[in-house]
């Protein structure tokens, strides 16, 4: 199972060896942290039925987990990365600073070779375990078959890396290399969790990215800017003349106003300042990419208003790639419905497919370049 190393430093193991080097077995106390009640129940069922392991507590988010860790003193944490509020990677960094212990990252984004996996190990994770994509009992059982063994091993202080090549010099670049396509994501408050997932999945050499968020500066920086330092790429507030380059995500919040791209060998952002028509600033930005004739990929995430749909139309006409996220039940449908009305030929993605599709479409090794058209009957019932 990949590279196994013994943890050093001040991270304790739950099972300590005696003077003869023999491990004295005792129940390993595990806390399960996941925002999904179903996933919490399934993991608890697996772990509680394993010999030598007991679940001492559960938590739905970082705030709840923080309080329970102090009270319950678990030996091992299983930690979901995609949680509302503070992400799993952010909380992992906090745990390693204040309560160092073995942490198993459970996430659909901690697949071997991703930027999320690499960053998780850098922050101190003991293992990155793939979260079941389907909630069916059969798939769940197949996925978590060796979870109890992993819990026991990390409790002894082992670090289990299934993708050691990613840590070797030059290897990560071979796994993903940006083709230079500029990624632009437009989102309201309901799309912020998806943006966090995308940033968490980005490798250090991520595609040049512009994030246009329909919130004020404080809200955008609290949710997105706080990820700086816990992800592999740079996240910087946009400014006039800012270069849109690999390894950087440019954050454009509502207080910045309207922006457009300045074409050239090294494309930059031009900040136009407060906009009299903020409801069309995404259209303006995406249209500027179309007019500049730079390689671009853009996506509309859930948010209020139709802003961005006409910009996508212009970008597609100019040969760019585009997608729209299918909104979950709780999110506004405005942008999705605007795209459907225009009958644009683009990719329709679910939340958990956005990050992988972006990396696939912007990789030098990508072979998946064809767009798929929205099926009228699918769009009509979404």
Question: Do 268 and 210 belong together in one domain?
Answer: yes
Question: Per-residue pLDDT averaged across 77-103, rounded?
Answer: 89
Domain boundary among the residues 109, 134, 167 is at 167
Write the pLDDT tens digit of every residue in 60-78.
999 999 999 999 999 999 9
What is the layout of strands, in order, in the sheet containing 321-325? Answer: 234-237, 248-252, 209-213, 182-187, 296-300, 321-325, 347-349
Q: Which of 42-51, 83-92, 210-219, 313-322 has the highest mean pLDDT?
A: 313-322
pTM for the full model? 0.65
Helix axes 115-123 and 88-98, enclosed angle (nearest 10): 10
Q: Report the percentage of the chain scoring pLDDT > 90.
A: 50
| Residue 322: per-residue pLDDT | 97
List, for residues 114-147, the tens digit of each pLDDT value.
Answer: 567 777 888 899 998 877 655 556 666 766 778 8
Q: Which helix (H) or strand (E) holds 124?
A: none
Q: Are residues 110 and 197 in the same domain?
A: no
Dist. CA 69–CA 174, nearest whole Å = 39
Q: Using CB atoms within 10 Å of the CB of residue 168, give its burial: 0 to 12 exposed, 13 to 18 middle, 19+ buried.
A: exposed
Q: Which domain holds residue 295?
A: 176-381
170-212 per-position pLDDT tens digit:
444 347 899 999 999 999 988 988 898 898 888 889 999 999 9
Tell me, what CATH number does 21's domain have? 3.40.50.2300
Q: Sign of dihedral through CA atoms 214, 220, 223, 228?
A: positive
Question: Are 284 and 197 within one domain?
Answer: yes
Is residue 237 domain-shared with residue 161, that is, in the same domain? no
Q: What SS3 class is residue 76? A: strand
> Are 109 and 220 members of one domain?
no
With a cut of 60, say whether residue 2 has pLDDT above it.
Answer: no
Higher pLDDT, 262 or 224: 262
Of 167, 184, 205, the residue at which a domain comes to its end is 167
Q: Which of 167, 194, 218 marks a domain boundary? A: 167
For residues 239 and 14, give the distance between their C-alpha atoms in angstroms, rounded to a whole number: 48
**344 and 265 within one domain:** yes
Query: Domain check: are 276 and 142 in the same one?
Result: no
The count of structural domains within the chain is 2
The reply to whether 53 and 138 lie within a common domain is: yes
């Amino acid at each position: 199972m990949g590279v196994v190393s013994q943890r050093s430093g001040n991270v304790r193991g739950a099972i300590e060896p005696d003077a003869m080097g023999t491990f004295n077995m005792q129940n390993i106390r595990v806390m399960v942290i996941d925002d999904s009640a179903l996933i919490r129940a399934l993991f608890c069922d697996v772990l509680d039925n394993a010999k030598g392991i007991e679940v001492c507590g559960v938590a739905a988010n970082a705030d709840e987990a923080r309080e329970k860790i102090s009270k319950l003193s678990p030996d091992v944490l299983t930690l979901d990365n995609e949680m509302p509020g503070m992400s799993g990677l952010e909380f992992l960094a906090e745990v390693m600073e204040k309560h160092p212990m073995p942490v198993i990252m459970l996430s659909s984004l901690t697949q071997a070779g991703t930027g999320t996996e690499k960053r998780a190990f850098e922050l101190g994770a003991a293992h990155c375990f793939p979260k079941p994509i389907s909630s069916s009992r059969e798939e769940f059982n197949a996925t978590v078959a060796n979870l109890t063994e992993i819990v026991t091993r990390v409790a002894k202080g082992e670090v289990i890396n299934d993708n050691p090549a990613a840590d070797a010099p030059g290897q990560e670049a071979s796994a993903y290399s940006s083709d230079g396509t500029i990624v632009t994501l437009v989102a309201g408050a309901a799309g912020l969790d998806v943006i966090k997932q995308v940033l968490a999945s980005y490798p250090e050499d991520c595609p040049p990215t512009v994030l246009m968020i329909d919130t004020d500066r404080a809200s955008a920086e609290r949710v997105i800017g706080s990820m700086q330092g816990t992800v592999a790429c740079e996240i910087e507030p946009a400014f006039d003349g800012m270069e849109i380059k690999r390894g950087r995500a440019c954050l454009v919040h509502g207080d910045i106003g309207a922006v457009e791209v300045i074409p050239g060998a090294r494309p930059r952002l031009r900040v136009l300042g407060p906009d009299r028509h903020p409801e069309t600033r995404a259209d303006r930005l995406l249209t500027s990419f179309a007019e500049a004739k730079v390689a671009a990929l853009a996506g509309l995430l859930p948010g209020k208003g139709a802003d961005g749909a006409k910009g996508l139309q212009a970008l597609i006409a100019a040969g760019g790639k585009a997608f729209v996220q299918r909104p979950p039940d709780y999110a506004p449908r405005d942008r999705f419905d605007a795209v459907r009305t225009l009958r644009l030929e683009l990719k329709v993605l679910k939340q958990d497919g956005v990050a992988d599709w972006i990396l696939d479409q912007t990789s030098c090794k990508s072979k998946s370049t064809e767009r798929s058209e929205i099926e009228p009957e699918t769009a009509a019932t979404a």
